[in-house]
Amino acid sequence: MKRRKMLLGLMSALLVFAMVGCSSSKSEDTGSTNTGTTGTAATGKDLKGDITVITQKTDIVDTVFKDYAQKFKQEYPNINVKFQALSDYEGQIKVRMNSSDYGDVLLLPTSIPLADTPQFFEPLGNYDDMKKQYNGLEERTVDGKVYGIPTTINFNGLVYNKKVFADAGVTEVPKTPDQFLAALQKIKDKGAAVPLYTNYAAGWPLTQWEADLTTVAGNVDYVNITQANTDDNFVKGSPHYELYKLMYDVAQKGLIEKDPTTTDWETSKADLANGKIGTMVLGSWAIGQIQGLSKTPEDIGFMPFPTNAEKVIMPLADDYTIGISSKSSNKEAARAWIDWFINKSTYPTTEGGGMSPAVGAELPATLKQFEGTDVEFKFQTPAKAGQEGLVDKIDKDSEIGLWQPDFKKRIIEAAIGNKKESYDDIMKDLNDKWKASRASVASE
């Protein structure tokens, strides 16, 4: 049950600017599709109180969120909503959780271990009841109680410019790593665009690759079940090895940007939109933004990560989950906001850019293209009882950072010849760390 959204868990004393990136990733769900009742709170007028809502969306807190607050007020005239936006959400909220003031409604920091959730958050209901209403609750369910509802559900793969691919003579969407490399090579030979843009400098876009582990494994059990129980997480033939081999290969064959160390995320979006970049590994949340920058939005497509697996699974993953502070003094009002935000604000599909967590909600347009194809959309299987959060624990103890950019950067540095180590050296090092930490976590 790990996944890091942006986890640039940074800080910065002096001046620093938080290069905030958000990614998203996975979570899991058994995928119950029973149609549930929509949330029926007590009538709006009965609830009153002032609530503070903390968000990571610094860019729209004064615009879109203000509109939300107004509409919310029409239904709940006696609740006053105030917002706080944190630019380095993960880093700052964790420091603030040392106090009793971390708002009434907030996003659950991904780096807080599952077991610690009840210490900071209020249970929202029983899992068995709530699953009829929402998908993706498993990520923050402890002992049958739900603590967070996903603000949106993302799917991961590659955002690509169809025209760049077509102009280079790639007529079919590449399915396997080999086809993918061949397609990128064609784009390189054509010379009009950077085949794949890594966004190495920003760092966090590299963590998006990890979200595609399920696609490479071709199995929804891999991430939380198989991975937690293997010592061979990075050996040749394992999904991690195959996943990052592709990263190494594209960098090594020069199919990436000329100078990865000076990339700029903003520019990269515009370049992808305008056909100067072929593709980037990203989540669904980015599609809308890139289409918005393009004069021909229909050229911007989405494809599953290349895989040799038999089944093509596009993993669905919770974005940040939203919950209520256990220290809140207006929990009912806070709950009203959450239900309204998920079901009525349109945030999950518009600003969130993914799928609504509400059971039975309509598929977003970008997903409809895959209806009737062999691509499957699935949540990952949750960890086995007693193993919740285990992968995360091993990851932290070993300082591997599955959801951190660090070892991905190392792979790219090695691939472009800046470091002397080979891909197998790196994988061996990671596997050794994994094995040692798995043993030490087990012995605790």
Partner 1 sequence: MVFKNMSYKNQRKLIIIAFSLIPVVLLFTFAYLPVINMFKYSFTNWNGYSDHYKWVGFKNYKTIFTDPKYFTVFKVSLYYFVATFVQMGLALYFATILSFKVRAKNFFKGVLFFPSLLNGVAIGFIFLFFFKPDGTLDTILNFLGLSSLSQGWLLNPNIINVSLAGASIWRYMGFNFIIFLGAISSVGKDVYEASDIDGANKWHQFRHIIIPSIKRIVQLNLILGISGAISAFDIPYIMTGGSNGSNTFVIQTVDVAFKFSKLGLASAMAVVLLFIVVIVTILQNLLSKKED
Partner 2 sequence: MYKLKYTAASIFKYLSLIIAAFVVLIPIVVVLFASLKTGQEYANSSPLQPPTDWFNFANYKKAFIDGKMLLGFANTIFIVIVSIVGATLIGSMIAFVLSRFKFRGSKLLMGAFLLATLIPSVTTQVATFKIIDFLHLVDTRFAPILLYLGTDIIAVYIFLQFLDSISESLDESAMLDGASYFTIFFRIILPLLAPAIVTVIIVKGVNIYNDFYTPFLYMPSQELQVVSTALFKFKGPYGSQWEVISAAIIISIIPITIAFVSLQKYIYNGFSQGSVK
> In which element (H, E) is residue 341 found?
helix 331-343
Given a contact cutoff of 8 angstroms between Cβ atoms, the answer to whether 251 and 411 are in contact is yes
Whole-number minimum distance, CB 344 to partner 2, in Å?
Answer: 22
Torsion sign, CA atoms 392, 394, 396, 398: negative
Q: How far is CA 100 from the centre of its chain?
A: 28
Whole-number minimum distance, CB 18 to partner 2, in Å?
Answer: 8
Question: What does 116 interact with, of partner 2, partner 1, none (CB < 5 to 8 A by kind)?
Answer: partner 1
Is 86 one of the binding residues for partner 2 (CB under 8 A)? yes
Is 155 one of the binding residues for partner 2 (CB under 8 A)? no
Given a contact cutoff of 8 angstroms between Cβ atoms, the answer to whether 86 and 58 are in contact is yes
Is 16 one of the binding residues for partner 2 (CB under 8 A)? yes
Question: What does 270 interact with, of partner 1, partner 2, none (CB < 5 to 8 A by kind)?
Answer: partner 2
Question: What does 147 interact with, of partner 1, partner 2, none (CB < 5 to 8 A by kind)?
Answer: none
How far apart are the C-alpha atoms of 380 and 383, rounded to whole Å? 9
Question: What does 166 interact with, of partner 2, partner 1, none (CB < 5 to 8 A by kind)?
Answer: none
Is 285 one of the binding residues for partner 2 (CB under 8 A)? yes
DSSP 41-87: PSPGGG--EEEEEEES-TTTTTTHHHHHHHHHHHH-TTEEEEEEE-T
Interface with partner 2 (CB under 8 A), residue total: 47
Rg of the chain, C-alpha, whole Å: 21
Beta-carbon neighbour count of residue 262 at 10 Å? 9
Beta-carbon neighbour count of residue 35 at 10 Å? 9
Whole-number minimum distance, CB 94 to partner 2, in Å?
Answer: 9
Is 22 one of the binding residues for partner 2 (CB under 8 A)? yes
List the one residue from 80, 84, 291, 387 that touches partner 2 (CB under 8 A).
84
Whole-number minimum distance, CB 12 to partner 1, in Å?
Answer: 6
How far apart are the C-alpha atoms of 205 and 116, rounded to whole Å? 28
Question: What does 285 interact with, of partner 1, partner 2, none (CB < 5 to 8 A by kind)?
Answer: partner 2
Residues 86-105 that bind partner 1 (CB under 8 A): 90-91, 94-95, 97-98
Task: List residues binding partner 2 (CB under 8 A).
Answer: 6, 11-18, 20-22, 54, 56-63, 82-89, 92, 95-96, 98-99, 101, 264-267, 269-271, 274, 285-286, 289, 293
